Amino acid sequence: MEVKDILLNLRKNNNLTQDKMAKKLFVTRQAVSRWENGETVPNVDTLKLISNIFDVSINALITDSKLHDIQNDKINSSRFSGFAKLYENSRPTIPQNACDIMLNYLEYKPSQVVDLGCGTGLSTLAWSGKCEKIIGIEPNEEMLSVARQKSDAVSFIKAYSDNTTLPERRFANDT
């Protein structure tokens, strides 16, 4: 079921017109109509509001939908194909103290850092010596190839940020 169908069912199951639903969500009737026609989808803040008003999880609103289209992911990640070396040579280096600033903010040293969308590993490698384990996640094989040439100490994984293949768990201050 797509987002448009989920929203239409929510509205109808709650005996709301598009106008009434729009007022509840602080949007226009036209916005509701566009959602139900599949022209657009609600933004994150509106999804949160829908979740609260209709007592449904955000996951229920988007999990069964095609909001996250794998084909679009592949197109997006392939836009860097043929450009990894150019990307690597034209990206600025991360400032020396950027990781230190983050560590000071956290007030502890994390055991693991995961860099989502690591590209050629510029920011990933900045964490060397600052934590026990570093993982770079990148969907573009060519970008990963450049990153992997830089260090054997970093684990680089070909994956998308919404499906990293890493075990699901929450990271907390373990000091």
Greatest alpha-carbon pair distance for the chain in Å reads: 59
pLDDT reported for residue 146: 93
Q: Above 50 in pLDDT, residue 175?
A: no
What three-state secondary structure class fits 35?
helix
pLDDT reported for residue 90: 86
pLDDT reported for residue 82: 81
Band of the pLDDT at 174, cuts 50, 70, 90? very low
For residue range 99-138, what is the model confidence (pLDDT) as tens digits? 999 999 999 989 999 999 999 999 999 999 899 999 999 9
d(CA 15, CA 111): 51
pLDDT reported for residue 29: 95
What three-state secondary structure class fits 36?
helix
pLDDT reported for residue 44: 85
What domains are there in the chain, each with its CATH number? Answer: 3-62 (1.10.260.40), 76-158 (3.40.50.150)
For residue range 37-88, what is the model confidence (pLDDT) as tens digits? 989 889 888 988 998 898 888 777 776 544 445 455 666 677 677 888 888 8
pLDDT reported for residue 149: 94
d(CA 24, CA 49): 9
Q: Helices (H) and strands (E) in the chain — how many of each?
A: 10, 3
Q: Above 70 in pLDDT, residue 156?
A: yes
